[in-house]
Amino acid sequence: MLWLCILLPRFALEASAGAARGPEHPPRPPPAVQAALQNLALWSLQWSGQVSEHAAADGSALLWLEIGASRRLFGDHASLRGCVAAGLIPLGYTHRLGIAPTLQGAALLARAGLATSAVTGTQLLQLLEPLPLALLALPVEQLAALHGAGLRRIGEVLALPAASIAQRFGPDANLYLQRLRGAVHEPLRYVQAPAHFHTRYEFSDPVTDTTALLFPLQRLLAGLQGYLRARERAVQRYTLHLEHRRGAVTRLAVSLTRPSRDAAQLLLLARERLAVTALAAPVHGLGVTASEFLQPLVVQNDLFSRADQQSEQFQQVLDRLGARLGAGAVQAMSSTEEHRPERAWHLHAARLVALTAAAIGPAGGQRDGSERPSRPCWLMSEPRRIDRPQELLAGPERIESGWWDGADVARDYYLAREPNGAQLWVFEDLRGGGWHVHGLWA
C-alpha cells in the first residue's frame, strides 16, 4: 500500500469561503464541515478507489488516498501528486501533501512539508529520522515526556524497543509509533460513492446575489466530477437546490446535450442558468443532486478528430444557449409530407436532432421539390386577413386537405405583389371566404 495524505490545516475555516473570513468569524458547525469534507472525499475518488477522511477537533482535516493501485492509471506517484495539487488549487483549500507506505507516515510527511515521497518502509524511516519530535501526532504531555527523557529526533524514538516505549510512555504512544513505521495496520473506513449524488453547502450568512453561489458551487461540482469519474459515469442533467428559509427550495435543472463529467463545463452551464435567475428569497444553503447517470462518451485524445472536436464545441454552444435562454428557445426543424402548409413542418428541442445529425450526415440535404410547387421562405405563425390583393403574379394552387382530422382547409394560394415590391403568399379561403396572407417570399 502507498498512501497520499492531503492535509488541510485550515479546513473548517476555509470550508466557509465566500463569506467573511478572519479570526472573528465563528467556526463552522461540525455538520457543515463534515459535509464539505465528504464532498472533497468524493472529489478525490477520481484518483483512488480507497479514500478515507478525518476531521480533527482543531479545525484541520485529513484525506488519505491509496495510490499504490492507481499508479497504472495516473503514472508514477510524483505525477499523481502533481495532479492532486493542481486540482486542489481552484478549490481554494490550503493544503500539504505527503506520500508514504503508512497512513501516519504520509500524514507526518505532509505536516513536515517535505516534497520528498517515501515509497518503501526504509525510505520512510530515513526521512523520519532527522525530523523533530513535535511532528509526531501525540498529545502534548506525551511529547513533553519524550522530550524530558532526552529525546529530540523521531529517529531516536523509533530506535527504542517497543516494549520499553509502551512501559515508559503508555500503550497509546506505542500503538501510534507502531502504525507510523508500519508494524501494525490501522483499521479504516473507506468513503463509499452513494447510488445518487447529493451534496450541499450551508452559508453562514444568507446570500442575495447569485454570483455569491458560484464559488461554493464550483466545489460541489468538483465533488460531482470525482464521483462520476470514480463510477465511470456521466450526467446529462443535474439539479441545483437553492434553499431558502423555512424549508422553501428553488430547484433549477441544468441540462446538457451530451453526457459530461467535466466540472468546468457543468459550472459554465450553471453560471448561464443563474445569470438569468432572479432569487425569490435569500439563499441559506446550496445543494447539487444528480440521479440519472449515463455511460460517458469515450474519447481518446489522440483519436479525437477535427470533426468530433467541432461537433463537441457545437454541442457546448447549444447547451449554453439553452441554459441561458431556456431549453425551449433552441430548436431544430424538420419538414413532413403534408398538404396543409401550417402542418408541413415541426420544431423540436435542438438536442434530439443535433444528436441524430451526425448519423444522418450531410448527405441528407438533397435538393428536392423541383417537381413540387415552390414555397415561401417566411411563414406567418397565423394567416392574417387582408383585402383582395391587386396584383396576383401566379396561381392558383389548390390546397384541400384535412377533412379526416377535423382541421380541413380548402384554399387557393397565389403569389401576390404589393406596391412596395414585397411578394406575398396569399390564399382565398374557399370555405370561410376572404383573403389571407400566409407567408413572404423573402
Which residues of the shown chain bind another protein in the complex (CB under 8 A)?
307, 310-311, 313-314, 317-318, 320-321, 324-325, 328-335, 341, 344-347, 350, 353-354, 356-357, 360-362, 364-369, 372-381, 393-395, 397, 415, 418, 420-424, 439-442
Distance CA(214)–CA(115), nearest Å, equals 32
Cell of 290: 444528480
Distance CA(241)–CA(263), nearest Å, equals 17
Minimum gap (Å) between residue 345 Cβ and another protein: 4
190: region left, alpha or beta (phi > 0 left; psi from -120 to 50 alpha): beta
Of 122 and 374, the one with the shorter C-beta distance to another protein is 374
Of 329 and 407, the one with the shorter C-beta distance to another protein is 329
The strand order across the sheet containing 235-243 reads: 197-207, 283-290, 235-243, 249-260
Minimum gap (Å) between residue 277 Cβ and another protein: 14
Of 24 and 371, the one with the shorter C-beta distance to another protein is 371
Q: In DSSP terms, which residues pair with 437 in a beta bridge?
A: 384, 426
Distance CA(26)–CA(140), nearest Å, equals 26
Minimum gap (Å) between residue 296 Cβ and another protein: 21
Minimum gap (Å) between residue 309 Cβ and another protein: 9
Minimum gap (Å) between residue 423 Cβ and another protein: 5
Minimum gap (Å) between residue 33 Cβ and another protein: 39
Minimum gap (Å) between residue 364 Cβ and another protein: 5
Of 184 and 321, the one with the shorter C-beta distance to another protein is 321
- The residues near 339 (Cβ < 8 Å, ≥ 6 apart) are 399, 400, 401, 402
Of 126 and 313, the one with the shorter C-beta distance to another protein is 313
Cα 293-268-350 angle, rounded to 5 deg: 65
Of 24 and 337, the one with the shorter C-beta distance to another protein is 337
Q: Are 37 and 55 in contact (CB under 8 A)?
A: yes
Of 80 and 254, the one with the shorter C-beta distance to another protein is 254
Q: For residue 248, how far is the Cα from the chain centroid?
A: 24
Of 145 and 440, the one with the shorter C-beta distance to another protein is 440
Of 186 and 418, the one with the shorter C-beta distance to another protein is 418
Minimum gap (Å) between residue 351 Cβ and another protein: 10
Cα 382-383-388 angle, rounded to 5 deg: 160
Of 83 and 394, the one with the shorter C-beta distance to another protein is 394
Cell of 79: 505525477
**What is the residue-wise DSSP string for 155-212?**
HHHHTS-HHHHHHHH-HHHHHHHHHHHTSS----------SSEEEEEEEEEEE-SGGG
Cell of 309: 472536436
Q: How crowded is residue 231: how many other Cβ atoms within 10 Å of its Cβ?
A: 17
Minimum gap (Å) between residue 434 Cβ and another protein: 21
Minimum gap (Å) between residue 266 Cβ and another protein: 18
For the packed helices 140-148 and 162-169, what is the interaxial angle rounded to 10 degrees? 110
